[in-house]
Amino acid sequence: MSTPDFSQRLFDWYDQHGRHDLPWQEDINPYRVWVSEIMLQQTQVNTVIPYYQRFMQQFPDVLSLANANIDSVLHLWTGLGYYARARNLHRAAQRVRDEHAGHFPDELEQVMDLPGIGRSTAAAILSIACRQQHAILDGNVKRVLTRFFAIAGWPGQREVERQLWQQAEQLTPATRSADYTQAIMDLGATLCTRSKPRCTDCPVAIDCLAYQSATVSDYPGKKPRKALPERETIMLLLSNNAGHIYLQQRPPTGLWGGLWGLPEAGCALRRDSLKKWCREQLQFALRDVQVWPGLRHSFSHFHLDITPVHIRGEFLNSSIMDSANAVWYNTRQPDARGLAAPVKKLLDSYANMDAGKCDSGTL
């Protein structure tokens, strides 16, 4: 199939069946497209929509995001996962403010130079918002092209990715670049899906090599699988007389960087060990201890098994709470701060817990 034939069939399908009413397709500008592209990385559209709408209400333009406190940014990201995206979004907005006079750059290299923006994301922003001709290669497009051209191997491999970029560039037309970019993403998201693809509805299926050979399920090639390692931690819900929970802000980089979390005990799950650890590490004197049911949180690269422990007590040194990185958190009147998903789940459980009805054990 020639390049014009491929794009024209895609346009004909997109004009009639494509998605045209997504929130980021309204009042299109580079900032709005950029935020949507970052949120959509490894996250489905239906999940992103409410997050995107809340984010835009709070930060309607790049300067409002750049001038915001990182806590307010992470708070709106809570539950969306992959929090490095939010931190990079905030840092990039500040770069746009400081280095580009608040105007989002319109050159591919300049966009790629911003934190958290790779080649495909930069291309999508400039294609959709600035009508520039750039090929994209997100997960949906990779799936379409590996099937259409029967390109074997895992797309994360350098040689496979090189072939995909080459095909993507050849297929991208000079006209209607924004529509083509949205159309090929829509094709992968709605028809050429991972499982149960709707090949009979696909506008280019007649020339798809995988469809012709009945090998659609073989593409794209799978990433070599490794058993995910398992880690364990003890998360402490330290409560004071008012029933508030002690939170610490995590370092700006690393796991859940910049988010507020619970202390994690580096000791055995025994009353005497916890008592000693809390006194030595936190200067916190415990009165009673309850172990809650375990909670597993899975990342892309490991499983984290969490043992939550609720401890009532008090700090021996009240000046500890003078730190900007420590707060007593009122779960019944929560304020706006970024929380990792399992921490939020534990805090919600604590807030909703009726006395005497918690399925827990006492140490």
Determine contact, residues 33/120, Cβ cutoff 8 Å: no
Which structure tokens are listed for 132? Answer: 């520039």
Helix, strand, or coil (residue 197): coil
> Given 26, 37, 230, 264, which residue is catalytic?
37
One-letter amino acid of 77: W
Residue 96 makes CB contacts below 8 A (sequence gap 6+) with 62, 66, 102, 103, 104, 105, 114
CA 313, CA 183: separation in Å to the nearest integer? 58
Cα-only R_g, the chain: 25
Our answer to whether residue 37 is catalytic in this structure is yes
Let me know: does 120 contact 106? Beta carbons within 8 Å. Answer: no
Longest Cα–Cα distance in the chain? 75
Residue 217 · residue 228 · CB < 8 Å: no
CA distance 326 to 324: 6
DSSP 303-351: EEEEEEEEEEEEES-GGGGGSTTEEEE-TTS--S--B-HHHHHHHHHHH
CA pseudo-torsion sign 110, 115, 118, 123: negative
**Phi, psi angle pair for 284, to nearest 5°:** -115, 125
| Residue 295 · residue 222 · CB < 8 Å | no
Q: Collect all residues with Cβ–Cβ distance below 8 Å to 197 and sequence separation of at least 6.
A: 147, 191, 216
Q: Which amino acid is at 140?
A: N
SS3 111: helix
Q: Would you call 215 helix, strand, or coil by DSSP? A: coil
Q: What positions carry a catalytic annotation?
A: 37
